[in-house]
């Protein structure tokens, strides 16, 4: 599949969808399973990122190429650093080689890791010579990516002295750090997170356990977008937990302002279209930046203004998502301003332009975030297969719920 033309036959959506497991949770648990084989996993994500993570962990090759999988790059950098008497070259796509990893490498070097940059300082590819890491205290900047922090937390139990992490600056994506902490607790590892310090106790062995991965909330975001823009919507998504660890659960509160009522019962997330009362919204997405694209497109489709801050991590994602959003919404007729950490979308005064080709920039979330607009006008999505990074069945699930692909 290359470019697709997307529209909806009626504008109303009623359906039930089983959403794949959270890739954030899947990737964390796969690394913990590599350290503690007593862990059994169910409902793993079928995303490209999780496939890359699993493949990288199992690979016996000296060269590991993880493609576009940013989480995998960060987690495997930490993991390979701890495997004694093993040498790995870790690389990825051209875009991956432009995504910074210096903060994590510096932190691992503080622990005693042997990591060499093979091209540009601070960026992949990396040569990693695994060894026993002797230190147990690290200081690192916490305002760039929580994945650097999580990568260190995940390897911490296998360090002889455990780990004390001192976080500097404003901590971004706190719910993702708390998710990692909770998953460590679930398998019997002591982990505390207070103020700017994380402490994790060493543990060489755990009891056998089975862990069921919750479905992905960021994947659910596209259905919140669909419910917001539909004439009528009654959508059931599974499997979701009321006490979810995923930061993107804030979707329920945010989309209440955008005319979507949501509730969870028996592990099923129920979305219903309601009357829209807002004319503008203001949000800080520091703790949930991955849902920004979906929300901005929803606001544009609804014709309301939005001001969103806390978006400083978007420029180091699969693409610079702020620039990408600006470019594609402008093509549709939007008036939008961006800075390096915020976005302002003006209220829409003109109809959405039909048949616009949405460029995806190798970014799965660009393709899926813009898809709900097909409820209003036909749109075209470039490089539609990019969705396999996080949600391979996305287009098929849309087809089963009244969307027409051509």
Q: Which two tokens stand for residue 252?
A: 């329920």
Q: In the beta sheet, which residues pair with residue 322? A: none
d(CA 2, CA 52): 22
Q: Is 342 in contact with 308 (CB distance < 8 Å)?
A: yes
Helix ranges, 230-284 (H): 251-256
d(CA 186, CA 207): 11
Q: In the beta sheet, which residues pair with residue 280? A: 305
Q: Which two tokens stand for residue 176?
A: 């993702």
CA torsion sign for 119, 324, 226, 261 is positive
In angstroms, how far is CA 392 from the centroid of its own chain? 15
Q: From the CB of residue 182, how many other CB atoms can be counted at a distance below 10 Å? A: 14
Sheet harboring 87-91: ordered strands across? 63-65, 87-91, 126-129, 114-117
Element of type H or E holding 321: helix 321-332
d(CA 26, CA 120): 30
d(CA 13, CA 26): 29
Candidates 368, 346, 349; CA nearest to 358 is 368
Among all residues, which ones are annotated catalytic? Answer: 290
Element of type H or E holding 289: none
Q: What share of the chain is helix, strand, coil (3-state, %, to 5)?
A: 40, 25, 35
């Amino acid at each position: 599949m290359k470019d697709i033309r997307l529209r909806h036959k009626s504008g109303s959506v009623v359906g039930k969808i089983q959403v794949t497991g959270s890739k954030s949770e899947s990737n964390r648990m796969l690394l913990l399973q590599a350290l503690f084989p007593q862990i059994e996993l169910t409902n793993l994500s079928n995303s490209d990122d999780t496939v890359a993570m699993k493949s990288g962990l199992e690979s016996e090759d000296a060269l590991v190429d993880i493609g576009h999988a940013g989480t995998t790059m960060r987690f495997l950098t930490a993991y390979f650093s701890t495997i004694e008497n093993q040498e790995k070259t870790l690389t990825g796509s051209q875009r991956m080689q432009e995504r910074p990893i210096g903060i994590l490498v510096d932190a691992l070097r503080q622990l005693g890791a042997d990591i060499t940059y093979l091209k540009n300082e601070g960026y992949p590819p990396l040569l990693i010579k695994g060894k026993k890491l002797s230190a147990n205290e690290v200081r690192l900047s916490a305002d760039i990516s929580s994945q650097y922090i999580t990568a260190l937390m995940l390897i911490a139990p296998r360090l002889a002295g455990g780990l004390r992490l001192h976080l500097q600056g404003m901590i971004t994506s706190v719910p993702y750090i708390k998710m990692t902490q909770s998953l460590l607790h679930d398998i019997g590892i002591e982990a505390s997170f207070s103020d700017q310090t994380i402490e994790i106790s060493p543990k060489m062995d755990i009891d056998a356990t089975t862990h069921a991965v919750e479905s992905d909330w960021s994947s659910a975001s596209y259905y919140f977008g669909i419910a917001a823009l539909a004439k009528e919507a009654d959508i059931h998504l599974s499997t979701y937990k009321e006490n979810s660890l995923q930061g993107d659960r804030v979707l329920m509160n945010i989309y209440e302002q955008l005319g979507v009522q949501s509730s969870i019962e028996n592990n099923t997330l129920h979305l219903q279209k309601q009357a829209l009362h807002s004319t503008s919204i203001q949000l800080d997405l520091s703790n949930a930046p991955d849902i920004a694209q979906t929300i901005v497109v929803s606001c544009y489709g609804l014709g309301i203004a939005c001001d969103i801050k806390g978006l400083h991590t978007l420029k180091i994602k699969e693409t610079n998502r702020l620039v990408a959003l600006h470019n594609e919404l402008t093509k549709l007729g939007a008036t939008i301003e961006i800075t390096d950490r915020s976005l302002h979308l003006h209220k829409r005064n003109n109809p959405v332009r039909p048949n616009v080709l949405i460029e995806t920039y190798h970014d799965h979330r660009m393709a899926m975030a813009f898809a709900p607009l097909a409820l209003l006008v036909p749109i075209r999505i470039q490089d539609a297969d990019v969705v396999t990074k996080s949600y391979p069945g996305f287009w098929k699930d849309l087809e089963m719920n009244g969307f027409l692909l051509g």
